[in-house]
Amino acid sequence: MSPARLELVGLRKSFGATEVLADISLSVQPGEFVSILGPSGAGKSTILQLLTGATRLDSGRMLLDGTPLSSAQHRFAFMPQGDALMPWRRIIDNTTLGLEVQGMSRKAARAKVEPLFAEFGLAGFERYYPAQLSGGMRQRAALLRTVVQQRPMLLLDEPFGALDALTRAQMQRWLADMWTRHRWTVLLITHDVREAVLLSDRIYVLSSRPAHVVHRFPVPIDHPRQGASAALSAIEAEILTTLLHPED
């Protein structure tokens, strides 16, 4: 069997006296959409900090395609918890950011990103500043900035957490649709159970801090899932039960 795209084994991390991650093990297969669900402050973002090299782990192993991750590699396309768009850059120049950092000229990067604006529902807004866009459009721009980096894996930290309920529902469907077409390998962090169920192939549920994996739920429903709302609701109810009664 070929190795998992991402394999985390027994991750531990403390910040000073605060133990944040107690024991995190999970894996993501190539082309798989995996979500991490957990209460606020559990340490979900900390897992991504470890992956992007922003902090070091205390113990454990992180493997990408079977080889240990070193902090010098930048193998993930990361979307931080806020949209992290630069207010001083136009949307087009925000989306080319990763390519520019990789050394591509601004002109070449623009030429590469421009054709994708229509698919991301941003056509005509290339020259706008982030402040001129709605919340949903900003998230789509941030996602475009993430995927054009063409890394082996996407790390999305609560991409829709700051949106109103209606926009969030629209964005979740849109992302499900995009993923069905592109089959990116994704690790998504969320505390929205419905979002996790709609999008994921597999869901890991974390305890509160210090975090460990309390449950794994497969979501064995083919994409697109628009017609499968009854089956999705059943899984959602099951997960909510475990979250509300962790002892059972």
Partner 1 sequence: MPNAPFYPRVFARAFSHAGPAFVSVAAVILGWEAYVQLSGISPTALPAPSRIITQGFEQREALARHTLATLQATTLGFACSLTAAFLFSVLIDFFQPLRRALFPVFIITQTLPLVAIAPLVVLWFGFGLTPKIVLVALVTFFPMLVALAQGYEATNRDIAALLASMGASRWRIFLMARMPSALPYFFAGLRISVTYAVVGAIFAEYAGAARGLGIYILNAKNNFRPDLVLAAVFVSAALTLLLFSASVLVQRAAMPWARLAEQRR
Ligand X SMILES: Nc1ncnc2c1ncn2[C@@H]1O[C@H](COP(=O)(O)OP(=O)(O)OP(=O)(O)O)[C@@H](O)[C@H]1O
Site residues for Mg ion per CB under 5 A? 45
Looking at beta carbons, which residue is closest to Mg ion?
45
Among 12, 74, 223, 225, binds partner 1 (CB under 8 A): 74
27 binds partner 1 per the rule CB under 8 A: no
10 Å CB burial of residue 112 (0-12, 13-18, 19+) is middle
Please measure the distance between the N-terminal and C-terminal CA atoms of the chain and give it in whole angstroms. Answer: 34
Among 49, 167, 180, 207, binds partner 1 (CB under 8 A): 49
x/- map, 44-63, ligand X, by CB under 6 A? xxx--------x--------
76 binds partner 1 per the rule CB under 8 A: yes
Q: Find which of Mg ion, ligand X, partner 1, none residue 165 binds, CB within 5 to 8 Å per kind.
A: none
Q: Find which of partner 1, Mg ion, ligand X, none residue 20 binds, CB within 5 to 8 Å per kind.
A: ligand X
Spatial CA neighbour of 185 closest among 99, 67, 64: 64
Per 3-state DSSP, what percentage of the chain is helix, strand, and coil (rounded to 5)? 35, 25, 40
x/- map, 149-188, partner 1, by CB under 8 A? x---------------------------------------
Q: Find which of partner 1, Mg ion, ligand X, none residue 101 binds, CB within 5 to 8 Å per kind.
A: partner 1
**Span from 33-41, 75-83, 216-224, 238-246 in contact with partner 1 (CB under 8 A):** 75-83
Output the CA–CA distances (angstroms, integers) from residue 229 to 198, 221, 239, in the order listed.
9, 10, 15
Residue pair 148/113 in contact by the 8 Å Cβ criterion: yes
Please report where in the chains the tokens 């402050």 appear, as a residue. 41
- Considering the complex, what minimum distance in angstroms separates the CB of residue 139 from partner 1? 13
Tokens matching residue 207: 């305890």
10 Å CB burial of residue 143 (0-12, 13-18, 19+) is buried
Q: Find which of ligand X, partner 1, Mg ion, none residue 41 binds, CB within 5 to 8 Å per kind.
A: ligand X
According to DSSP H, which parts of the chain are helical? 44-52, 91-95, 97-101, 106-113, 135-147, 165-182, 193-199, 229-244
**Span from 13-21, 25-33, 107-115, 140-148 in contact with ligand X (CB under 6 A):** 13-21
132 binds partner 1 per the rule CB under 8 A: yes
- What is the size of the binding site for partner 1 (CB under 8 A)? 24
- Give me the half-sphere count of Cα atoms (radius 13 Å) on the Cβ side of residue 23: 3
Tokens matching residue 152: 């082996």
Contact footprint for partner 1 (CB under 8 A): 49, 52-54, 74, 76, 78-82, 84, 86-88, 97-98, 101-102, 129-132, 149
